[in-house]
Amino acid sequence: MKEPAKKRKLPSPDLSSRLTECRDFFALPELSHLPAERKSRALDELRATGTYVQSAEEILIGAKLAWRNHARCVGRKHWRTLKLLDARHATTAEDIADACFEHLRVATNGGALQSVVTVGPPPLPDGREYRIISPQLIRYAGYLGDDGSVVGDPAHLDLTALAIRLGWRGEGTAFDVLPLMIQTPEEPIRWFDVPRELVLEVDFEHPNYRWFAGLGLKWHAVPAVSNMDLEIGGVRYPCAPFNGWYVNTEVGARNFSDTDRYDMLPTIAKKLRLDMSSDRTLWKDRALVELNRAVIHSFRESGAYMVDHHTVAKQFVDHVDREAKAGRECPTDWSWINPPMSSGITPTFHRLYDPPDMDIRPNFVSRGSSGCPFS
């Protein structure tokens, strides 16, 4: 059991850079109300033990700033509203699963979504960590058939195969919610079914086309990313799921449209009786618009909150302007901020931003290739 644990140990930044991060963190204006003595105690503890215990207040402020600093997030205008669930007390996989379920309850909030981050235990002194293997708290399984066809979400073939290897069995529908998979220092990966009542889903229908509901499409309301590290003040939290709310394009212009995801555009175009004889007829584009209308309409009808790509783009440029007035950098990844459809008719398209690679802290950091192979 110790062996695989060693393998997943990430190269941790050396102590001196963590001391610098700690110093920089406590020097932030957002922490200026803390007594000077708090900063020196944190530094002493970090120097002596390689880490230090942060207060819940420090973590909440750090997580808000991590959100504000994250170059790929278009929803950053709302960074101040983040709520913290402190789950550092968790010691077992069950404890972490329970914390994730509580996260879903608070985040879903009956459809009035709230932004939440749950912070689990930091790595042990020897570097072994608590990790959520699942890339999000809610993910749909994907099953590969003998003929190469896929039922469900093709993005999760590996994750589904892993769950099955661990003993999970799905029903075999296109929307089986995968179990949460959790790894702790002491145990191999364990899985936990997500209680059905915690998975708010929206069935899709179209405001004008009756046949649309017959496609049997649906999606979950809460996007809760669970495979990124939260880095605050020289401390790294590998178990820190967070959520906002969906932009329609994530579901309508990617999850259901990408040819290596649910690939629904040809089906929808046929139903619309479009001329599919050539790309030049723009049948894909027309199907894409109707699919996205259905996504927005269905979320609205069901009472689950979602934002459209025009509104979120406006909010984001407001945010960027506000940050500039506050004299703060706002690192931004243009290619992630712009929606995957109609980008040129949103305001985010028509400007430049602070470069995304400034890599400022606190931040949410992808584990990338050195971490979870399933994301």
**Site for ligand ARG, rule CB under 6 A:** 223, 225, 244-247, 250, 255
**Pick 255 or 348: Cβ nearer ligand ARG:** 255
Q: How far is the CB of 338 from ligand ARG (least distance, A)?
A: 14
**Between 69 and 184, whose beta carbon lies closer to ligand ARG?**
69
What is the per-residue burial (b if ≥16 Cβ within 10 Å, else e) of 94-129? ebbbebbbebbeebbeeeebbbbbbbbbbbeeeebb
Q: Which residues are catalytic?
A: 73, 76, 245, 250
How many residues belong to the chain? 375
Which two tokens mark 56?
């819940």
Rounded least distance, CB 220 to ligand ARG, Å: 8
Distance CA 49, CA 23 (A): 16
Task: CB nearer to ligand ARG: give 46 or 74.
Answer: 74
CA angle 146/152/154 to nearest 5° reads 75
Please say which residue, 5 or 224, places its beta carbon nearer to ligand ARG. Answer: 224
Distance in Å, CB of 258 to ligand ARG, minimum: 10
284, with CB counted inside 10 A (0-12, 13-18, 19+), is middle
Distance of closest approach, residue 373 Cβ to ligand ARG, in angstroms: 19
CB of 205 to ligand ARG, least distance (A): 20
Characterise 15 by phi-psi region: left (phi > 0), alpha (psi -120 to 50), beta (else): alpha
CA dihedral (328, 332, 334, 336) positive or negative: negative
Q: How far is the CB of 351 from ligand ARG (least distance, A)?
A: 21
Question: CA-to-CA distance for 200 and 104, rounded, in angstroms?
Answer: 9
181 beta partners = 191
Q: Which residues of 332-355 are buried (b: 16+ CB within 10 A; e: fewer)?
A: bbeeebbbbbbbeebebeeeebbe
Which H or E element spans position 23? helix 15-26
> With respect to ligand ARG, which residue has the nearer C-beta, 174 or 272?
174
